Amino acid sequence: MFNYNFQIDFIPAVVLVVFLIKDWNRLKFSPVIIMFKYNLLALISVLSFEMLIIIISYFPSMHSVYLLRLFVLCFFISVALFYMFWGFFIFSYIKRIEARQNYKKQSWIVTLSTCAIILMFLINVYLGFIYYIDDAGHYQQGVGYNIFFLIFALYSYSFSIYGLIYSRKLIKGSYQKKGLHFFFYLSVIMNTINNIQFMYHNQFSPWVLNCLFMLILFFFLQRENVIMDVLTGIGNRKNFEELMATKFAEKDLKSVWYLVLIDIDNFKDMNTKHGHDIGDKVIIRTSHALLKYFTLESSSVFRFGGDEFAIIYNENDITLLNSNLYELRKELSKLINYSNNENIKIEISSSVVDYQFGRYSSPKAMVHKAIELLLVEKRSK
């Protein structure tokens, strides 16, 4: 009989199926959520194959042994696909945080690596160097089992470690991404338990933790959808107001930081002339440019509303701030062909106000002052 202890996985399998049926349509169709769905489907396929392995392993006939070998192969392929989609999820998630030009290249590396692993499982059916199932239906480790799964463990760790390194780079000074660091630590723990399961396969089953982790991931994304703008992936108005309230509550007598408001010039005319799809692309490009020059290490970037953006600049360096605004204008003024028939350049207006303790009675008063200065610049044009 196949000797994995899988019976406990029946409960999380049912929970995930119910979860999918209930909440599938509520998940927004952003690239990140689509990758999350694929992760969930891959995990459910792993659990389904486990259930089938349990059932088939109770029938000792020669015919059922062949089926058992087939389903065990499908099980390991599903595990490989689960990690592939996990890598896709991390890369697409990072791509949403800021513009990443090498996303497609990374995805191809993950895809080719997964294909190589799946090919090794297929070859193993004939050679049995990783695992094999004898004629009695007993699962046995091959001579290359430990070496192969050491490579597989490094493969699975690489995605979470990549995300963890990236989150460490961005976490400083960012109120938006406080949960990101914990999220990737949790993923490393998940991979550790999974890999222990492969090395000591009859001790416990890891997929209960996987299911729990996917549910935690779902709530993490749902919370992020509350505070993040769906179109651009940057902070929304609610997130902006929460951070402004937090910074005012600090009451640091020596603290100096800046609020920047940015508005896209003639955006309504652009929408009327080119359509809302082009308008959305203009807003997305503007948000990516903002993240390029106002990184999360020094700033927090938000979509204030419509075609307006807000930046909370935490550094006390007005020269660098003005330099970043100049580079931002220069970047956005480049002609880009969005609609395949006309090149479009983006022009912006901006205002900057500085915070010093006692200067403004409330966050609302500071925002109101920034809006006044923004309207003055727009009228001057």
pLDDT tens for residues 75-90? 888 888 888 888 888 8
Residue 111 in domain: yes
> What is the distance between the alpha carbons of residues 237 and 355, in angstroms, rounded to a whole number?
19
Local structure of residue 235 (DSSP, 8 states): B
> What is the distance between the alpha carbons of residues 280 and 78, in angstroms, rounded to a whole number?
37
Structure tokens at 112: 């080719």
Specify whether 30 is located in the same domain as 170: yes
- Residues of the domain holding 82: 7-227
Residue 1 in domain: no
Question: CATH number of the domain that 371 lies in?
Answer: 3.30.70.270
Of 176, 198, 227, which residue sits at a domain end? 227
Beta-carbon contacts of 177 under 8 Å, excluding residues fewer than 6 positions away, are: 97, 167, 170, 171, 296
Q: Report which residue type is found at 340.
A: N
For the purposes of burial, counting CB atoms within 10 Å of the CB of 176, is it exposed (0-12), middle (13-18) or buried (19 or more)? Answer: buried
Local structure of residue 301 (DSSP, 8 states): E
Q: Which residues pair with 372 in a beta bridge?
A: none
> What is the distance between the alpha carbons of residues 183 and 100, in angstroms, rounded to a whole number?
20
Q: Is the dihedral of CA 219, 221, 222, 228 positive or negative?
A: positive
Residue 75: Cβ within 10 Å count:
21
Residue 207 in domain: yes
pLDDT of residue 175: 45
pTM for this entry: 0.64
> What is the distance between the alpha carbons of residues 141 and 4, in angstroms, rounded to a whole number?
12
Residue 49: Cβ within 10 Å count:
21
CA 368-373-374 angle, 5° bins: 95
Specify whether 194 is located in the same domain as 256: no
pLDDT of residue 70: 85
Specify whether 251 is located in the same domain as 342: yes
Structure tokens at 376: 């003055």
> What is the distance between the alpha carbons of residues 211 and 83, in angstroms, rounded to a whole number?
14
> What is the distance between the alpha carbons of residues 258 and 270, in angstroms, rounded to a whole number?
30
Residues 300-321: b if buried by 16+ CB within 10 A, e if exposed: bbbbbeebbbbbbbbeeeeeeb
pLDDT of residue 261: 96
Residue 2 in domain: no
> What is the distance between the alpha carbons of residues 371 and 351, in angstroms, rounded to a whole number?
8
Specify whether 184 is located in the same domain as 300: no
Specify whether 220 is located in the same domain as 274: no
pLDDT of residue 339: 61
pLDDT of residue 315: 86
Residue 171 in domain: yes
Specify whether 30 is located in the same domain as 85: yes
Helices within 200-293 (DSSP H only)? 207-227, 237-250, 267-274, 276-293
Structure tokens at 166: 């990236």
> What is the distance between the alpha carbons of residues 249 and 243, in angstroms, rounded to a whole number?
10
Domain count, the chain: 2
pLDDT of residue 207: 65
Residue 100 in domain: yes
Specify whether 242 is located in the same domain as 285: yes
Of 200, 227, 254, which residue sits at a domain end? 227
pLDDT digits over 240-280, tens only?
998 899 889 887 778 889 999 999 998 888 888 877 888 88
Specify whether 145 is located in the same domain as 112: yes
Specify whether 246 is located in the same domain as 336: yes
Residue 209 in domain: yes
Residue 115 in domain: yes
> What is the distance between the alpha carbons of residues 233 and 231, in angstroms, rounded to a whole number?
6
Q: Which of 156, 214, 211, 191 is nearest to 8 (CA)?
A: 211
Of 209, 227, 245, which residue sits at a domain end? 227
pLDDT of residue 3: 43
pLDDT digits over 183-206, tens only?
777 778 777 777 776 666 554 456
Specify whether 177 is located in the same domain as 260: no
Helix (H) or strand (E) holding 328: helix 318-332
Specify whether 319 is located in the same domain as 368: yes
pLDDT of residue 203: 47
pLDDT of residue 62: 54
pLDDT in tens, the chain (381 residues): 444 444 455 666 666 667 666 666 655 556 667 777 777 777 778 777 777 777 776 766 656 778 788 888 888 888 888 888 888 888 777 776 654 445 566 778 888 888 998 999 999 988 989 888 887 777 788 888 888 888 888 888 888 788 777 776 664 444 445 566 777 777 787 777 777 766 665 544 566 667 777 777 777 777 777 787 877 878 889 889 988 998 898 877 788 899 999 999 988 888 888 778 888 888 988 988 898 888 766 788 999 988 999 999 988 889 999 999 999 999 998 877 766 666 788 899 999 999 988 889 899 999 999 999 999 988 887
Specify whether 251 is located in the same domain as 107: no
